[in-house]
Structure 1
Amino acid sequence: MGTMNEHAVAEVEHLGKVYGTDGAAVVALAEVSVRFRRGEFAAIMGPSGSGKSTFMHCLAGLDTPSSGKASIAGVDLGSLNDEQLTQVRREKIGFVFQSFNLLPTLSAWENITLPLSLSGKKPDPAWTEQVIEAMGLQDRLDHRPAQLSGGQQQRVACARALITRPEIVVADEPTGNLDSRSGAQILSLLQRCAREWRQTVLMVTHDPIAAGYADRVLFLADGRLVDEMTQPTPGRVLDRMRRFDTQAVG
């Protein structure tokens, strides 16, 4: 596996997650194995309760799998203690959430550089300038979140996710609270992260239009990986989603 791992920025092997015990046990994930390359933009889709969020949380070290393993940049997350795991999450993974998760009392600049402040690091001027320019935030850095539109707030969140030059950007329904124009801007930015900056971008979404921006779409159902699609289009994704509604999967 050694040589294979060098190409996979993130990988899960036989990942399983069970909540509860015995009669009350709920299987959220069962035997999911998948690898993500550097510079890949992957979308994770599936019906409600299919295990999408659990999958992302286990991969990003926010939740512990019941079986199997998750690795980032060749490091098995299960082998790390809490302190090491926090460091991996802070330095190797950038998070973008549906609800922006910005701190209201901080300016856009302070929100963007927060992951570095927490690690006691200074921003790299050239990289920071590139990220802020790409997000179109040059004249918004002194503004607090309440003074920004939803789309601008999410662009601040994207800049915050990228500021540490992470291995992976994890985006959980990043366009869920945005109008279609702002959403399209965010999706184009995530696409650029993958193509230009060779970041690996993993996005949970239920939106076929959002999934159409990705290089590959993984479909989960009942905690299992049931299908994948390369070079997706919104129409093909929608057709695949409709089949979930008409068939009993698993």
Structure 2
Amino acid sequence: MRQESLSVTTSTHSETPSAPSVPSGAAAARARDLTKVYGQGETRVVALDSVSVEFRRGQFTAIMGPSGSGKSTLMHCMAGLDSISSGSAWIGDTELSALKEKKLTRLRRDKIGFIFQAFNLLPTLNALENITLPMDIAGRKPDREWLDRVVETVGLAGRLKHRPNQLSGGQQQRVAVARALAARPEIIFGDEPTGNLDSRAGAEVLGFLRNSVRELGQTVVMVTHDPVAASYADRVVFLADGRIVDDMADPTAESVLDRMKAFDARGRTS
């Protein structure tokens, strides 16, 4: 299935702009001693406990962990969707806690792409209009060459005039992926982006995300509970009880599953 998903998108791009060069090891986003606390007193919950992590440019990272481990909270804090209690979070060279709401909103719009389980497409707009909607709202014109390349990479060239109800779930999520890529953000965050898709459609979307990293120079950080989804990434960061407990390079579905089983066994004996 994984090979099939790749065959959909492999193509040459001799007439389109090359992927941007990416300095090795440069951080698209990073956190230092990031802590997130909800509630007070007896209801106090430490969702993130002094987390320090970097997400390098041009890399596909998966965040995994048991339910309640803090993986979605980490993504939301680093994407500026939730406030932090202490520590710091950065997008590129910009510290999020230093920004007032208006500038934070502008940063999310201009430098961050989002992909979620719910496709969040407007039913009255066709695929192309949904893809360019954030830029239209911001009063910016899309880079036509880049947009064409994104559309080709996610395999939507023949579906741009279709409305969401004329597209399959996998095609709708491709539109959401293209929308996130279209503005060339510094980083894309995905929260279970294939959670509402069947295995074949999910494999296709994961292949498109991986190709966006390898062919377009994009940076992707994805929260997932699925070892197969995590195997598409270059790196997996594991969380448990609000802390990073492991970091794996070049994951396979089997190695990720083994690591998760080890965490479960450790939790039962602790």
Instruction: Give your verdict on TM over 0.5.
Output: yes
Matched, 1:190 2:209: yes
Q: Supply the RMSD in Å over aligned alpha carbons.
A: 1.4
Could you list the runs of 4 or more consecutive aligned residues of structure 1 that deviate by over 6 angstroms after TM superposition? none
Shift of 1:150: 0.3
Query: 2:240 matched to which residue of 1?
Result: 221
Task: State the AA in 2 paired with 1:84.
Answer: K
Contact preservation (8 Å) 2:69, 2:241:
yes
Cα distance in 1 between the residues matched to 2:27 and 2:156: 32
Matches within 5 A, 1:1-250: 7-248=26-267
Give the total of aligned pairs: 246
Q: Which digits, 9 at most, give the CA deviation of each residue in 1:186-211, with x for residues without a partner?
A: 11111111112221100000000010
Contact preservation (8 Å) 2:29, 2:54:
yes
Task: State the AA in 1 paired with 2:123.
Answer: P
Query: 2:17 matched to which residue of 1?
Result: none
Cα distance in 2 between the residues matched to 1:235 and 1:135: 27
Shift of 1:169: 0.8
Contact preservation (8 Å) 2:80, 2:108:
yes
Cα distance in 2 between the residues matched to 1:136 and 1:41: 20
Contact preservation (8 Å) 2:153, 2:212:
no
Task: State the AA in 1 paired with 2:94.
Answer: V
Cα distance in 1 between the residues matched to 2:150 and 2:159: 13
| Secondary structure, aligned partner of 1:248 | helix
Task: State the AA in 1 paired with 2:262.
Answer: R
Identify the range of structure 1 (133-142 vs 63-72) with the bigger mean alpha-carbon deviation: 133-142
Cα distance in 1 between the residues matched to 2:154 and 2:213: 14
Unaligned residue ranges in structure 1 (runs of 5+): none
Q: Which digits, 9 at most, give the CA deviation of each residue in 1:87-131, with x for residues without a partner?
A: 111111111101111111211111100110111001111001101
Q: Which digits, 9 at most, give the CA deviation of each residue in 1:159-209, with x for residues without a partner?
A: 000011000011111111111111111111111111122211000000000
Task: State the AA in 2 paired with 1:97.
Answer: F
